[in-house]
Structure 1
Amino acid sequence: MTIPVLLAGHGALPSGIADAAELVLGPQPRLAVCELGPAESPESYRERLADLAGPVSGTGAGVLVLADLPGGTPANAAKLLAARRGGIRIVTGLNLPMLLEVLVRGGDLDELAGLAQSAGRDGVLTEPVLTR
């Protein structure tokens, strides 16, 4: 079963990472984004996130939410949604390696959440400077 992935974050970050992932992998119909606007209230954002999670969770497999900042409005909105509905796993620290790994791998909701966490962490490296 394919797990829907919902990107939650501040500004255009979720769309930018989704666009980058689709540049690498092609169209991703299981991917949805929810951007927090600069003047948006937490309540309004929570409602939009719930609306997006509703259609993508129609598979019965749950929804994986990848949020940008732990403790930020998008992550907190996802936590409230998960508490009310269940079937939602949240991983914070959204980055491109995390998303790419989740999109190319299979597994259940808990496996994908673990994969997202490890791929996100392992994708942060200090690259050596090239010398002549």
Structure 2
Amino acid sequence: MKALLVCTHGSSAKELVNSAEMICGKQENQTSVAFTMGESPDKLEQELKKKISTLDLSDGILCLTDLKGGTPFNTLVRLTQSIPQLHILTGVSIPMLLEFFIQREQYKMPDLIESTIKAAHDGIYQYVFTENTTDNEEF
């Protein structure tokens, strides 16, 4: 089973995973790491290594972060040198997590990454009220 690690600035990583699990059920082979204010990048790296060591990486690991260029992202990029099965996507969202959790057994990692990115794009929607909108319309 493909592994998942979510790492963000602050505690949003854990809460995003909790929210996704409310929708699709408790998930295995996943973890989250919070990068807290005042924490050093070295400490974050040690925490990431510790958490990654608890996961089964035989089918690869997808790491979702909040921000390209941020400390969680940069630290994970450095870890790809020693953990070649590690893949990184930024812009973590609940639609991405749901896609990963629901499809991780059906797709190989490259296809799973592609479908996770598509879910992120499809998860962005602007509702615009119009006078012709009825309460019964489905979105």
- The match for 2:72 is 74
Distance apart, 1:55 and its partner CA: 2.0
Distance apart, 1:129 and its partner CA: 2.7
Deviation string, structure 1 residues 97-118 (Cα, Å, up to 9, x no partner): 0110110003222222212211
Q: Structure 1 vs Structure 2: percent identity of aligned residues?
A: 26
- The match for 2:28 is 29
One-letter code aligned to 1:77: T
The alignment's TM-score, normalised by the length of structure 2, stands at 0.87
Q: Which has the larger radius of gyration?
A: 2
Secondary structure of the structure 2 residue equivalent to 1:83: coil
Structure 2 residue runs of 5 or longer lacking an equivalent are: 135-139
The alignment's TM-score, normalised by the length of structure 1, stands at 0.91
Partner Cα distance (1:109, 1:49) in 2: 21
Structure 1 residue runs of 5 or longer lacking an equivalent are: none
Contact 1:6 1:32 in 2 (8 A): yes
Contact 1:98 1:117 in 2 (8 A): yes
Aligned length: 130
Deviation string, structure 1 residues 79-111 (Cα, Å, up to 9, x no partner): 111122200110100000011011000322222
RMSD: 1.5
Partner Cα distance (2:81, 2:124) in 1: 30
Map 1:34-113; keep pairs closer than 5 Å: 34-56=33-55, 58-105=56-103, 106-113=106-113
